[in-house]
Amino acid sequence: MVGNDGWARPWELQGNHRREGSKRIPSGCAIAGMINRKGRTMSGVDAIQSIALMHDRSNGLGGGFAAYGIYPEFPEHYAFHLFFDDHKAREQTESFLNQHFNIELGGPIPTRKVVGISGAPLIWRYFAKPKLEQLRVAEMKEDDFVVNMVMFINERLDGAYVFSSGKNMGAFKGVGYPEDIGEFYRLDEYRGYIWTAHGRFPTNTPGWWGGAHPFTLLDLSVVHNGEISSYGANRRFLEMFGYRCTLQTDTEVMTYIFDLLLRRQGLPLETAVKAVAAPFWSTIARMPQAQREVLTAIRTVYSSLLVNGPFSIVLGSSQGIMALNDRVKLRPLVAATKGDLLYVASEESAIREICPKPERVWSPRGGEPVIGMLEDAMPKAVPAPPVTVCHL
């Protein structure tokens, strides 16, 4: 085992570092998310505190965060976060990256020593743009090119794994309780206008950092609680569109579903939601004709993307967050607002922990998305006021 500073620490070698994907691992979890709709940034402290309250919903085998607006100094660069098993893997990956990207800045992601976090891989970060000549050769749009590169590294380059690849956002995750992971990554030092968080309760001990949530692709991130019974149907449909679900996790599948519908097919978010958590036919039958036609078409064409079984998710993107339950609400999800802030979490207490007097608290119905978008559709991160808004 090699520490984050690059020194070998053989005494930390424990567990197997086999990646997930060789078998399917169901897991239960805690999730939380928050957005400042004005684009004002807040530190990671609230997200950590909120998810920490739901300590018992995870079992120390995975925690993570996604934060948006954290790299205002590199708004146009893809921020790649990578895990490396060792420096050989890093060097190999860097030479691959250098071939295809202009790297503006690269280096280890700063961490601190935390009791309860051990066995960390090398964790590095690169701010990069695809080389124009490479885009020409590949005849691809920037985003598609980046997706391809990420998939290539994750599948083909041994010992390297990209776990974050969006612009002006980043995922931070690992094996441990989420509050320890937050501490480890020094998230108190970052400021973002969106935070999502996750504590994992896998029913198996993979011990691989890449398996923690959030799962991300470009600037899309998903934290997820649940086990989807439609996994096999969803996965085989996605595979027709070129996705390879190598991790065999529900979260990966969720991310690809939204990537397909939102980015590649350009559907509006509400439509994508209706595919994933479709209204029942009996409900559709009562709708006015135009709406009924649309929903019938969604359920007919995207029937294999219906996500069946219990889940609650928070989907993060640079433009906002969306929280969603399965259509019969078999997993908890609570939402609350206060001023410009929207909170969602598995438990109400996790919201009240950081926002004791919300203006409105509600439990969204199954299949009814809670959507919080930035008021300015294409936001520039607004400099933050000195204190986080909601502490009373």
Partner 1 sequence: MSLSMATPAFLIERNLDRCIHCQVCVRQCANEAHGYDHEEQRVYSDDMRCVNCHRCVVLCPTRALSVRQFPLEFRANANWTAEVIHNIYLQAATGGILLTGMGNDRPYPIYWDHMLINASQVTNPSIDPLREPMELKTFLGRKPEKIVIENGRLKEALPPQLELELPVMFSAMSFGSISLNAMKSLALAAEAEGTYYNTGEGGLHKDLYPLGHRTIVQVASGRFGVHPDYLAAGAAIEIKIGQGAKPGIGGHLPGEKVGREVSETRMIPEGTDALSPAPHHDIYSIEDLRQLIYSLKEATNYSKPVSVKIAAVHNVAAIASGIARAGADIIAIDGYRGGTGATPLRTRDHVGIPIEFALAAVDSRLRDEGIRNQVSLVVAGSIRHSADIVKAVALGADAVYIGSAALIALGCHMCQKCYTGKCNWGIATQDPNLTKRLNPEIGAKRAANLLKAWKHEIKEMLGGMGINALESLRGNRLMLRGIGLTDRELNILGIKAAGE
Establish if 22 lies at the interface with partner 1 (CB under 8 A).
no
Q: What is the largest CA-CA distance in the chain?
A: 66
Distance between CA atoms of residues 60 and 391, nearest Å: 28
Q: Nearest CA to 121 among 152, 182, 162, 169?
A: 162
Report 302-361 residues binding partner 1 (CB under 8 A). 302-304, 306-310, 327-328, 330
The interface region with partner 1, picked from 9-17, 127-135, 296-304, 353-361 by CB under 8 A, is 296-304
Interface map 192-211 toward partner 1 (x if CB under 8 A)? -----------x--------
Residues serving a catalytic function are 29
| Burial (CB count <10 Å: 0-12, 13-18, 19+), residue 225 | buried
* Torsion angle (degrees, nearest 10) of CA 283, 234, 365, 334: -170
Taking CA atoms, 199 is separated from 202, 224, 307, 332, in Å, by 10, 9, 21, 14
The answer to whether residue 272 forms part of the interface with partner 1 (CB under 8 A) is: no
Q: How far is the C-alpha of 56 from the C-alpha of 7, rounded, in Å?
A: 34
219 binds partner 1 (CB under 8 A): no
231 binds partner 1 (CB under 8 A): yes
Return the number of the residue (288 or 386) whose C-beta is nearest partner 1: 288
For partner 1, the binding residue among 232, 339, 356, 385 (CB under 8 A) is: 232
The CA distance from 55 to 41, in Å, is: 25
Helix (H) or strand (E) holding 210: none
Is 392 an interacting residue with respect to partner 1 (CB under 8 A)? no
User: What does the alpha-carbon distance between residue 299 and residue 139 come to, in Å, rounded to a whole number?
Assistant: 33
In angstroms, give the least distance from the CB of 331 to partner 1.
10
Count the residues of the shown chain that bind partner 1, applying the rule CB under 8 A: 47
**286, 300, 360, 392: which one binds partner 1 (CB under 8 A):** 300
Tokens of 132: 């124009």
Under rule CB under 8 A, which residues in 23-62 are in contact with partner 1? Answer: 24, 26-28
Work out whether 152 is an interface residue with partner 1 (CB under 8 A).
no
Interface contacts to partner 1, rule CB under 8 A: 24, 26-28, 203, 226-227, 229-234, 236-237, 239-241, 265, 267-268, 271, 278, 280-282, 290-291, 293-294, 296-304, 306-310, 327-328, 330
